[in-house]
Structure 1
Amino acid sequence: MKILLPYRLGDGRNIGTSCSKFLIVPLVLLGSILLLLSVSSNSENRAKAEQESVRRNKKGQQIFKAFYDCVEPKLSPFRGNNDKFWLSFVNETLKCDNLKEYESFNILPVANKDEIKYFIPPNKEVPMTMVTLGIGHDVDAEKTLKQVLPKTEFFGADPTSKINKDLYEKDLGGKYFEYAVGGQNGIQEAFVLIDGAYSNRNVLNIEADLFLRDEVQKQKVDILWMDIEGHEFPVLEMLHRGGAFDNKGVKICQINTEIHKDLDNGVTGEQNMFHEFVWKLLEDGRYVMVKPFLVYFYKDFIRTTLINVHDKECTDLYIK
């Protein structure tokens, strides 16, 4: 005879508890395995990224060595002679503009109304910072840059707000600052464009290192375009190792600059300052100078592009 035992309410709960215990152990093990795999994968990705960063940085060192080995012997005969150095710089460095090592980055031209500027696009789509020192009633190149690099923030400074403010803020969508940026703070004389002509005016000046750190509030500037009518020399000095930019923790990756002389702007000794800047740049091992161009206008000046091939934040961005 089949005997049916009475059902006790606690039995089901005990069975469920036992089953839960059996399920928890494999679930914990599975979770641990998945976590270990994820950590391992992340570690491998970080290691690969670091290896790639080191590779690009080493390639940057090779680029500088190639630049130095080509340019230094060509400029050495003119060392100590400021006039000949100025007149010979473009032709001599232009001979080094097609080095094989430069194939590691892609230099592209972009046009303003009266000049060509150059930039290197990043290897991937990332937020970038672009700064214009000296707007000069022209943002055509910046607008083209914005189309190519839509994630770029734009910051522009010019001591005269008329035309420049609307161009930079309304046409470009950037942020405008009414400063003459250079090597001094306070009210100083500057050579500025007003109503289609240049003249000396007393305007508000700010040091470039303070401007980038405190006004722009960026520690890394990806692209800097500078046309500040002779006041570029103190800014260029800030680029050297141990200079003002290093002291403020500011890195600049690419620079287009005009280098002037003989302007009626209170600045003297420009050829000597340029001579000293180039030789110190070669000692620093940080920037290469490409795309030199000598402009003969009512005063002659040099245009050139500087590329930071030393700092990892820069080389990671644009060296292949």
Structure 2
Amino acid sequence: MRARSHSPRKPKPNSVMGSPKMKSKSKSPQKKHRAVINQLDYLNSQCHMEGCSVSIVVHSTRFLICRHQLCHASDYFKDLLQSKYGSEDFYVTVSSMSEPTPSTQFRWFVESSIPCPALKDISDETLETCMRLSRRFDAKGLEMRCTKFIVENACSRQPIVALCWLNWALKHKFDAQTQASCLPSVARLSLTALEQHRHMLTEKIFSDLLAAKLRGTYDKAVQVFRAIHRMDHFSVEVDRCPRCGRTRDGMRVKVNADPCRKQIGCDRCHRESCEIENKAGDDLQAFYQCPHGLVPLNSTTDECHCQIPNLAHHLGSRYYFRSENGTILNPPPLSPHTSRTFDPAEDTSERPGTSYKRQTSRDMDRREQRQSAVVVRLEMLVVSLQPEESVRRAEIVSFGSSVILSIAFFYIFTMLNAFTTTNIALLDKSSGCFEKKISKYYGQPKKLWERFSRAVSLCSPRLHSVELGAFANTDEFKVPLLAPSEDCVVLSLGIGKDVKAERRMRDRMSQCVFIGADPVNESNADLFSQVGKFYNVAVGHKNGSFRSYVLEDVYRYQEVAYMDLATFIKLNVNRKIVDQMMMDVEHAEYPVLPFLEKGGELSQRDIAINIEIHRPTSEDLQAFVGFLRRNSLSQQWIFINSEIHPFFKHIRLFMINGQNKECRRRFWEN
């Protein structure tokens, strides 16, 4: 028999060299950690003594960091290390980006958020990484440092750099302040560049940038217009004034040419200065001449109808339009550089959740095209009617007349039905509507603040025979009641070096007396003296001298003289009724609210109030909610118009006194 082999037995599949083999439920090979090559020590001597270190391994680098400082800087690591102590390594995945390396990215994060040995400043190179990791590791302090860096440096960088910062802020969901700080620099880009990088912006921001550039173009056009206007004014020295015949013994007379009034004369002939220069900075505009007249170039005047072909050219309109002579024309073809409005149906980029919207948009476009084609065919049919078809034309005219008469009768019936409701009933209905929409938020003050302006807009009454004005300041609209022919008083508290609205109101309501007050005398006194009487005092809820938040070159705190609102009106206005009061007193409006409530010192003195209610503190918000609660019971004030600032969250509110007898006599009962 052959001898038995003495070769060693093969080990069993489930054991390797006597140690059991780990089984994995996953079919993929088990992930092995990369060997640690480098080690970075961010511990000080005290951390070494107390043993409060933690070991974080990223890629192939070990970071030794103080546990307490890391937990303080990042909520992510605070939750991770809360219940784990010891010297074991924590392996952390930083990012899927390969450049810069994950270990470099984490090193930037540690050095920018942990002050040991020293806190490193954020730079252009590390900004995006710090923004991303501040969100990844929930590091609020680093997020605030990134915001501060962007706010302080956005306007000093090139526009394309600011665009990248804005894109990062949108991508990593930074707050609105961070995004807004980049917009002025991004707006410097050309229209072509903005169109090329449109995918980096939201549609709202893109439209805001276009609107800002358009308004900037208006301003530059006005500057050019004024420069050309000044060039047209000239002076020359002659022996005799051609207008009044004035001469000077042995000297020449200086004669001025004034194209505004088409006059040439000496200083005595021109007692007043140039008409247009007097309006500089207020009503002065650039103009363009079209076949139908002189049209101001600004943001408030409608375009002349002869500009429709030009507008269609720039908008890329697909629709037909009718020219002045009645023929139907196509818009001019688009050039490669012509900007177009955004059309979702033409957007080929894949965006999550937009396939249904894009299909719906295509269907709407096809429907509009079919409707447009039908309208064009009908218009061409009417235009091409021949004289021998006069009978058919008469039938068409007769049918159209009957339709128009039916619509007119329906409109007249509706208007007559509406006028049977009195203004008093409309005010009561508006008050009830507002109370129904806002009362459910009395227990949620923050939501009430956010929804207040919309509730006012939805419930605003449409009053009969009462005309509301809208007068623009630099950053707001003031909406007063246009006073009747009798004398009236307009009180403006808080001038803020801006009287454009007051000037326009004075031109419209010349019978009114204007009174203004502001704690800053510089510039405000000169500006408001052109409108009415100015008082250098801060108007609030009590008398004395206090530190107040005032606008000089910038907003700052300053010691100012104070006078309560009731005393100011009693001493300086000296009228029983104040028709309009416009108030912008920088957070001092909250203590003034009790003056306006039922039984307050001014509840029967004011008729209409424009007030800017600044973004409140928690204490101010409770005062505002209390005012609304008490007003819902008394119905002293009816809210007519309101808007909330999209960035600063201030509320601008126009309200009228619903319980004032003189107010009813002047406006509502007639």
* Aligned mates of 1:59, 1:236 — CA distance in 2: 29
Q: 2:522 aligns with which of 144, 162, 178?
A: 162
User: Does 1:126 pair with 2:486?
Assistant: yes
| Residue 272 (structure 1) aligns with | 622
Q: 2:608 aligns with which of 251, 254, 264?
A: 254
Q: 2:541 aligns with which of 162, 169, 183?
A: 183
Deviates more, 1:237-246 or 1:180-189: 237-246
| Count of equivalent residues | 249
**Residues 259 and 301, structure 1, Cα contact 8 Å, conserved in 2:** yes
* Aligned mates of 1:184, 1:268 — CA distance in 2: 22
**Residues 491 and 580, structure 2, Cα contact 8 Å, conserved in 1:** yes
**Residues 537 and 563, structure 2, Cα contact 8 Å, conserved in 1:** yes
The secondary structure found in structure 1 opposite 2:602 is helix
Q: Deviations over 1:252-300 (max 9, x none)?
A: 01100000125xxxx7612111111122222222221121100134x32
Specify whether residues 59 and 311 from structure 1 end up closer, same or farther in structure 2 by C-alpha distance, changes over 3 A only. Answer: farther
User: Does 1:204 pair with 2:561?
Assistant: yes
The secondary structure found in structure 2 opposite 1:201 is strand
| Residue 186 (structure 2) aligns with | none
Q: Deviations over 1:95-142 (max 9, x none)?
A: 112x34x235222211111111111113x4111101000000011111
**Residues 615 and 649, structure 2, Cα contact 8 Å, conserved in 1:** yes
Structure 1 residue 230 displacement after superposition: 0.7
**Residues 121 and 318, structure 1, Cα contact 8 Å, conserved in 2:** no
The secondary structure found in structure 2 opposite 1:70 is helix
* Aligned mates of 2:594, 2:646 — CA distance in 1: 25
Structure 1 residue 154 displacement after superposition: 0.9
* Aligned mates of 2:563, 2:550 — CA distance in 1: 15
* Aligned mates of 2:465, 2:459 — CA distance in 1: 15
> What is the identity, as a one-letter code, of the residue corresponding to 1:142?
E
Within a 5 Å distance, the mapping from 1:74-93 to structure 2 comes to 74-93=437-456
**Residues 223 and 255, structure 1, Cα contact 8 Å, conserved in 2:** yes
**Residues 179 and 205, structure 1, Cα contact 8 Å, conserved in 2:** yes
Q: 1:294 aligns with which of 603, 621, 644?
A: 644
The secondary structure found in structure 2 opposite 1:108 is coil
Within a 5 Å distance, the mapping from 1:1-320 to structure 2 comes to 59=422, 61-97=424-460, 99-100=461-462, 102-122=463-483, 124-169=484-529, 171-172=530-531, 174-195=532-553, 197-246=554-603, 251-262=605-616, 269-297=619-647, 299-319=648-668, 320=670
Specify whether residues 59 and 285 from structure 1 end up closer, same or farther in structure 2 by C-alpha distance, changes over 3 A only. Answer: farther
**Residues 131 and 155, structure 1, Cα contact 8 Å, conserved in 2:** yes
Specify whether residues 270 and 143 from structure 1 end up closer, same or farther in structure 2 by C-alpha distance, changes over 3 A only. Answer: same
Structure 1 residue 88 displacement after superposition: 1.3
Q: Please identify which structure carries the higher strand content.
A: 1
> What is the identity, as a one-letter code, of the residue corresponding to 2:510?
P
**Residues 540 and 565, structure 2, Cα contact 8 Å, conserved in 1:** yes
Runs of 4+ in 1 over 6 A off after TM superposition: none
> What is the identity, as a one-letter code, of the residue corresponding to 2:467?
N
* Aligned mates of 1:255, 1:82 — CA distance in 2: 23
| Residue 412 (structure 2) aligns with | none
* Aligned mates of 2:629, 2:467 — CA distance in 1: 26
**Residues 423 and 464, structure 2, Cα contact 8 Å, conserved in 1:** no
Q: Which has the higher contact order (CA 8 A, sep 6+)?
A: 1
Identity %, equivalent residues: 29
**Residues 615 and 651, structure 2, Cα contact 8 Å, conserved in 1:** no
| Residue 162 (structure 2) aligns with | none
**Residues 60 and 309, structure 1, Cα contact 8 Å, conserved in 2:** no
* Aligned mates of 1:237, 1:59 — CA distance in 2: 30
> What is the identity, as a one-letter code, of the residue corresponding to 1:314?
C
* Aligned mates of 1:155, 1:288 — CA distance in 2: 24
Structure 1 residue 69 displacement after superposition: 1.8
Bigger Rg, structure 1 or 2: 2
* Aligned mates of 1:206, 1:220 — CA distance in 2: 19
**Residues 180 and 206, structure 1, Cα contact 8 Å, conserved in 2:** yes
Taking structure 2 as the reference length, what is the TM-score of the superposition?
Answer: 0.36
Q: Deviations over 1:130-187 (max 9, x none)?
A: 1000000011111111111111111100000000001111x21x11111110102110
